Amino acid sequence: MTTADERTNLAGLDRAELAAVVAGLGEKPFRAKQLWHWIYHRGETDFANMTTLGGPLRAKLAEACAVRRPGVATEQTSTDRTRKWLLRFDDGNEAETVFIPEEDRGALCISSQVGCTLTCTFCHTGTQKLVRNLTAPEIVGQLMLARDSYGEWPSPKDGRLLSNIVMMGMGEPLFNYDNVAQALKIVMDPEGLAISKRRITLSTSGVVPEIHRCGAELGVNLAISLHAVRDDLRDVLVPINKKYPLKELVAALRAYPAANNARRITIEYVMLKGVNDSPAEAREMIRLLKGIPVKFNLIPFNVWPGAPYEMSPPHVIRRFSEILNDAGYSAPIRVPRGRDIMAACGQLKSASERARKGRATAMAAQVGGTA
Ligand code: SF4
């Protein structure tokens, strides 16, 4: 376990928190604005380089504060350029971040929890118990770390490779709403990291009470982990459906304040062989979502060790997509990325856990003589 730096980490603080730190150092409020610029626009981590701040203030800051990123346990880059980081936080807990590059842009997939509150049966992360919510600095830190990795400082206005953010990593972001909201407000601030709400998509499995709030307060794009169009099946695949069944979920989508024809809600649908991939289910999905501005993302299931499902055959997925297309919807089939580095949701994390367990069991055997 790394020994945590006791100094106040300024990376991930919002404007009010930064102003409080500056006031605590006995400095004038405008210093907080300068610090914001250096931390979030310039990506600077060394106070000595913050040349618009006087020498005495820089010395005071270096004494009491730091600008840190989450620790990196491993960084891997796939043959298809997908990059994945396993992050290790001060308390030793781990989560992952993945960057999926396209030609001249790309999406950074950010985690919001260590493990997950939920247990979706097709998802590897769902097999990992929730350890804890990530804090706002740990969420913002994922973007800042990725920018370091691609040298994207100061915050470029145009020509960014790290152009989009998807809250689709580990965890259910709406079960960590306050930290996620604080983090995204920092990320969207035009004088700092400056990523527009139109380039941020938050994916939820269906925490209905928070969906409207997310749209009203953050105004980001919404994605829904739908994966089934009947309650009996969705209760199994996405157990939160037992609490907020399809009727309530669909009503929340119909009322989502930040959706319109130009900003459609993304319906994520994992293609599971013989489970949810029939033409009848495609037609039922069209009926269910009629009148709501949506687009579909069909995800060929990514098999993981011990997974209880198989991926639907390619011709079945194509047929499913055609039915949605014929009804006037965009329904691309997602191309799996980074498989060679196990970039599928939550895979890397599990590997770390198992190793530690193995060690613990071995140690227990040594100590007690019984495994
Ligand atoms: S799909 Fe999302 S909400 Fe469901 S278990 Fe996986 S990470 Fe959690």
CATH no. for residue 12? 1.10.150.530
Whether 65 is catalytic? no
pLDDT, tens digit (0-9, with 9 covering 90-100), for 306-361: 899 999 999 999 999 999 999 999 999 998 888 788 787 767 767 676 554 454 45
4 — pLDDT class (breaks 50, 70, 90): low
- Please report the atom of ligand 1 found closest to the CA of residue 123: 6
Mean pLDDT taken over the chain: 91
Q: Which distant-in-sequence residues (6+ apart) come within 8 Å of 264 by Cβ?
A: 293, 294, 295, 330
3-state SS assignment for residue 369? coil
3-state SS assignment for residue 354? helix
Q: Verify that 153 and 217 share a domain, yes or no.
A: yes
46 burial class (0-12, 13-18, 19+ CB within 10 angstroms)?
exposed
Looking at residue 314, its pLDDT comes to 97
Looking at residue 269, its pLDDT comes to 98
pLDDT, tens digit (0-9, with 9 covering 90-100), for 95-153: 999 999 998 899 999 999 999 889 999 988 888 889 999 999 999 999 999 999 999 99
CA–centroid distance, 349 to ligand 1, in Å, is 14
* pLDDT exceeds 50 at position 67: yes
Q: Verify that 52 and 178 share a domain, yes or no.
A: no
Distance between CA atoms of residues 292 and 280, nearest Å: 20
pLDDT, tens digit (0-9, with 9 covering 90-100), for 185-236: 999 999 999 999 999 999 999 999 999 999 999 999 999 999 999 999 999 9
What's the whole-model pTM score?
Answer: 0.91
Mutational test site, ligand 1, from 112, 114, 118, max ligand atoms within 8 Å of CB: 118
Residue 362, domain member (yes or no): no
- Please report the atom of ligand 1 found closest to the CA of residue 170: 7
Residue 365, domain member (yes or no): no
- Ligand 1 close to Cβ of residue 137 (< 6 A): no
Token pair 């209880």: residue: 308
Q: Verify that 108 and 38 share a domain, yes or no.
A: no
Looking at residue 303, its pLDDT comes to 85
DSSP 255-305: T-TT-BTTBPEEEEEEEBTTTS--HHHHHHHHHHTTTS-EEEEEEE----T
- Please report the atom of ligand 1 found closest to the CA of residue 124: 6
Top pLDDT among 247 and 302 is at 247
* pLDDT exceeds 70 at position 26: yes
Q: Verify that 62 and 76 share a domain, yes or no.
A: no
Look at the chain and report how many structural domains it folds into: 2
CA–centroid distance, 314 to ligand 1, in Å, is 24
Residue 366, domain member (yes or no): no
Token pair 């009322």: residue: 255
Note down the domain range covering 55.
Answer: 4-66
CA–centroid distance, 295 to ligand 1, in Å, is 20
From residue 297, how far is each of 241, 324, 331, 334 by CA, in Å?
Answer: 20, 11, 6, 6
Q: Verify that 42 and 94 share a domain, yes or no.
A: no
Whether 103 is catalytic? no
Identify the active-site residue in 96, 138, 152, 172: 96
Token pair 């989009």: residue: 164
